[in-house]
Amino acid sequence: MKFLPNKKLNNNKKKITGGVIIALLLIMAFFKENVGHVVSTPIMAASSYLLSSNEDVGNWFKRNAAYLEQKKSLEEENGRLKATLTELESRSLLCRSLEQENNQLREAASHVTNKNKKFITAAIVKRPPAIPYDTLILDAGSESGITTGMTVTIYGEALLGQIVEVFPGVSKVKLISFPANETSVILGNQNISASAVGRGGENLEIDLPKDIQTNIGDLITTPGLDGLVVGSVDKIETNDSSPFQKIIFRLPINIQQLGLVMIEK
Amino acid sequence: MIKRIICDILFFAVIFWGPWWAASLMGFIFVILFKNYWEAFAAAIFMDSIYYIPSNKLWGNFGIFTVVALGEIIITEKIRKQIRT
């Protein structure tokens, strides 16, 4: 007895499956905030313990591969690092005296600065390039008093990003270099007001008219008396056919070397 | 079946403890090796839920992993059917 394939039934199944997929995609597109949070909340709740574990394969290999390095190269590196440390210690002394002088000048000018800022410290659990996007996962969440919109800084001095999603045990940070993310900044000694746009890969750019004089190394900060450092000018791109110049800079610190962040309450 | 289960366990372990490119490469290979490997799509939604931040664009809710995984599964299954016939 031969059973012929039911073409009509198969076609109907395909149409129904295709219709369901398209309907789901449209729901996700038009109700993205609600659906996104409904999908991500149980996943983050279930995986927050696993994410909090700092032991990942990459770090394990890095630590164990160190045993294979030759003694001589380690000694050379040790010497270089000691010299760098001595240089940084002397610069730190200079910074402290400048900071003291700055505070005295501010008091003399009667500007009131908010020294009572409170911070929550959190460790970075996942960071680029382990994550392909310009985001960070922190090991502190709503249980630690973190809410969306809080500013994330490096030691309270440099701007890193903003808390965008909070879960009980973890929270997600959107870096200022996230593609198309805009941050208001002040550029250089001339206090030029501009908008820094994220390019991804920890890079940002500012478009300015060509006639504005900028130099490599100019400091970029957020507006205000207690402005946070955003970066310093790394590269200036000009084009003869365009009236604008493109200022490109990176985040002020290498995220790979950053262990803790401070979240402003 | 057992091979597939072992691969699934390895795949999800790499998602949590390995870099994103290792998980993507594994997913890419497993979609080719196994038939109807929808675990890759589930893993892609999983990864985007954890790491991606939706943007304000119309299709901004879809992370790159979700789009690429869906595309790869559909294309691979179509090619598989064509090769069989």
Which chain A residues contact residue B59 at CB under 8 A?
Answer: 29
Which chain A residues contact residue B46 at CB under 8 A?
Answer: 43, 47
Q: Residue A175: pLDDT band by 50, 70, 90 thresholds? A: very high
Q: Is residue B40 a contact partner of residue B30, using CB atoms and an 8 Å limit?
A: yes
The DSSP 8-state label assigned to residue A142 in this structure reads: G
Q: Residue A154: pLDDT band by 50, 70, 90 thresholds? A: confident
The total of other beta-carbon atoms located within 10 Å of residue B77's CB is: 14
Which chain A residues contact residue B45 at CB under 8 A?
Answer: 39
Instruction: Report pTM.
Output: 0.69
- Helix-then-strand count for chain B, H and E: 4, 0
d(CA B26, CA B50): 18
Q: What is the pLDDT of residues A237-258, one digit of tens each?
A: 988 888 999 999 998 888 888 8
Phi, psi of B56 (to 5 degrees): -85, -5
Terminal Cα distance for chain B, rounded = 25
Nearest of B22, B10, B8 to residue A58 by alpha carbon: B22
Nearest of A218, A230, A217, A134 to residue A174 by alpha carbon: A134
A217: phi > 0 → left, psi -120 to 50 → alpha, else beta; which?
Answer: left
Sign of CA dihedral B17, B20, B23, B25: negative
Q: Residue A37: pLDDT band by 50, 70, 90 thresholds? A: low
SS3 A152: strand
Which chain B residues contact residue A171 at CB under 8 A?
Answer: none
Domain span including residue B11? 2-84
Q: Min CA distance, A37 vs chain B (Å)?
A: 9
Q: Which residue of A has its CA nearest to B61?
A: A32
Indicate the residue type of A166: V
pLDDT of residue A183: 92
Give the closest of B18, B20, B49 to A40, CB-based.
Answer: B49
The tokens describing B56, both together, are 């304000």
- Answer yes or no: is pLDDT of A226 > 60: yes
CB-based contacts of A163, cutoff 8 Å, min separation 6: A146, A147, A148, A149, A150, A152, A171, A172, A173, A263
Phi, psi of B54 (to 5 degrees): -60, 145
Q: How many folded domains does chain B comprise? A: 1
- Answer yes or no: is pLDDT of A34 > 60: no
- Placement of tokens 């290999």 in the chain: A61
Q: Could you give the residue ranges of the DSSP H alpha helices within chain A?
A: 7-30, 32-52, 57-65, 71-108
Domain locations along chain A: 69-108
Q: What is the pLDDT of residues A129-140, one digit of tens each?
A: 778 888 999 988
Give the closest of A39, A58, A135 to B53, CB-based.
Answer: A135
Q: Is residue A35 a contact partner of residue B61, using CB atoms and an 8 Å limit?
A: yes
The total of other beta-carbon atoms located within 10 Å of residue A259's CB is: 7
Cβ of A180 within 8 Å of Cβ of B55? The answer is yes
